[in-house]
Amino acid sequence: MKIIHHHLLREFASQFFFALSTLLFVFLLGRGLVQLADLVFNKDVDPFLILKLLLVSLPFIMTFVIPMAVLIASLMTFGKLSADNEITALRAGGVSIVRATAPIVVLAVVLSFGSFILTDKIASVTHYTYRRLLTQIGIESPAAVLEEGTFIKKFKNFIIFIYEIDKNKLKGIRIYQPQEGRPTRTIVARKGELISIPEKNIVKLKLIHGTSDEPDAKDPSKLYKLTFKTYDLPLNLTDVRANEELGKKPKDMTIRELRDEIRRLGEDGIKATYPLSAEIHNKIALSFACLAFLLIGIPLGITTRRGDRSLGFGIGLILMTAYWTLLIGGKALAQKGLLPPFLALQFSNFVVGGIGLTLFVKLARR
């Protein structure tokens, strides 16, 4: 029996690490490797900061990738075993599917608890670090928060449109400053330059050759055009403060911090149970998706009788899409208080795991 267990574990492990590395690469691309490269080569962001950004994003990405890798590995492993008639040979030798797969089920349970620690203790901290690094990039390299050809609303009190951006050099600048009860102030410049002043947490926009609307001294409700050769405009990034002042979002908190926050808000008379509890159960549900995916992956793999990786990824993609749809929908319902957080967030695991367990039992009885 040990030989069979070792064989199955070895096969599953090889497929798992293949799926893990492939999915990790895809997720990193989706996370914006191209955009990060643009920050380095076109907007003069320190490459070391970009490397740190990538590294701290890995734990959060892994919380999604690990359950997916378990699903694809189970589909490919048992699809291949079934296609090679090894499952038939096991049954002929009197070895049940339950006994044969027991070590892999135990491994999935271990992965689930490992994912829980990763999601709660590590990914929460690194996700907060990721946001702090983004803030730091915005302060030290203000061009990194700009995008040409679009209305930029990241600067407090101003809406900015820039036609061309080349590192810190700008061309075709239009700045709008909405004023309550007064006409919107407009500044137009042929070109400009961004100058960062990190110690003051401000960005100075040096405008060159343009016009500016200025309030009339006799009637502030009226504006007049002022032509300038150079015009320095200080800008404050919205919500940009010192890194240590950056507030934590629910995703940045551990379960203990979320529970403490629920208690503190409750003491202040603020009912925040539903949105914060939804995040707690989201972490739990995502962690134990490993077990749910394995339970449905084993019988589906055996039934399809295909060890082809493209087919495994295809079936896995369909199942994962259905799972994430249920999870995201459940979280939205829980945050609005329409369903209890436990039921709303664990529903996806109950459905996928329940279907898988039913198929598994039927398969074991054959």
The top-scoring range by mean pLDDT among 116-120, 211-215, 265-269 is 116-120
Residue 89 is assigned to a structural domain of this protein: yes
Q: Higher model confidence: residue 109 or residue 46?
A: 109
Identify the pLDDT of residue 243.
38
Do 265 and 187 sit in the same domain of this protein? Answer: no
Mean pLDDT of the residues in the chain = 80
**pLDDT tens digits for 1-24?**
777 788 788 889 999 999 999 888
Percent of the chain with pLDDT over 70: 80
pLDDT range class, residue 263, cuts 50, 70, 90: confident
Domain shared by 259 and 213, yes or no = no
- 83-92, 242-251, 278-287: which has the minimum mean pLDDT? 242-251
> Which of 40-44, 136-140, 242-246, 259-263 ranks highest by mean pLDDT?
259-263
64 and 41 within one domain: yes
Are both 199 and 283 inside the same structural domain?
no
Does one domain contain both 6 and 106? yes
Residues 230 and 160 in one domain: yes
The residue from 208, 236, 264 where one domain ends is 236
Report yes or no on 145 lying in a domain.
Answer: no
Residue 364 CB contacts under 8 Å (≥ 6 apart), including other chains: 96, 97, 98
pLDDT value at position 306? 59
* pLDDT above 70 for 106: yes
Answer yes or no: do 125 and 267 share one domain: yes
Q: Report pLDDT digits (tens) over 24-70.
A: 888 877 655 666 666 655 556 667 777 787 888 889 889 999 999 99
Query: What is the reported pLDDT for 132?
Result: 78
Asked if residue 174 is part of any domain, the answer here is yes
Region 176-197: mean pLDDT is: 82
Average pLDDT score over residue span 82-92: 75
Distance between CA atoms of residues 182 and 325, nearest Å: 46
Tell whether 50 is covered by a domain. yes
Q: Alpha-carbon distance 19 to 127, whole Å? A: 23
**Count: domains in the chain:** 2
Q: Is the pTM of this model over 0.95?
A: no
Query: Each residue of 212-244: pLDDT tens digit?
Result: 888 776 776 778 888 999 998 887 755 444 434
Residues 13 and 113 in one domain: yes
Q: 131-135, 141-145, 264-268, 329-333: which range is least confident on average?
A: 141-145
Q: Does residue 224 sit within a domain?
A: yes
Range of the domain at 205: 155-236
Alpha-carbon Rg of the chain, whole angstroms? 27
Can you give the three-state secondary structure of the chain, one letter per residue?
CHHHHHHHHHHHHHHHHHHHHHHHHHHHHHHCHHHHHHHHHCCCCCHHHHHHHHHHHHHHHHHHHHHHHHHHHHHHHHHHHHHCCHHHHHHHCCCCHHHHHHHHHHHHHHHHHHHHHHHHHHHHHHHHHHHHHHHHHHHHCHHHHCCCCCEECCECCCEEEEEEEECCEEEEEEEEEEECCEEEEEEEEEEEEEEEEHHHCEEEEEEEEEEEEEECCCCCCCEEEEEEEEEEEEECECCCCCHHHCCCCHHHCCHHHHHHHHHHHHHCCCCCHHHHHHHHHHHHHHHCHHHHHHHHHHHHHHHHCCCCHHHHHHHHHHHHHHHHHHHHHHHHHHHCCCCCHHHHHHHHHHHHHHHHHHHHHHHHCC
Q: Are residues 161 and 180 in the same domain?
A: yes
Q: What is the pLDDT of residue 244?
A: 41
Is 43 part of a structural domain of the chain?
Answer: yes
Give yes or no: residues 9 and 101 share one domain. yes
Q: Of the residues 189, 212, 236, which one is the last residue of a structural domain? A: 236
pLDDT the model gives residue 199: 66
More confident residue, 331 or 310: 331
Q: Check residue 135 and give its pLDDT.
A: 67
Q: Which of 182, 216, 236 is the last residue of a domain?
A: 236
Do residue 270 and residue 217 come from a single domain? no
Instruction: Give 311-350 pLDDT, tens digit per residue.
Output: 667 777 888 888 989 998 988 888 777 888 899 999 999 9
Is 254 in the same domain as 130? yes
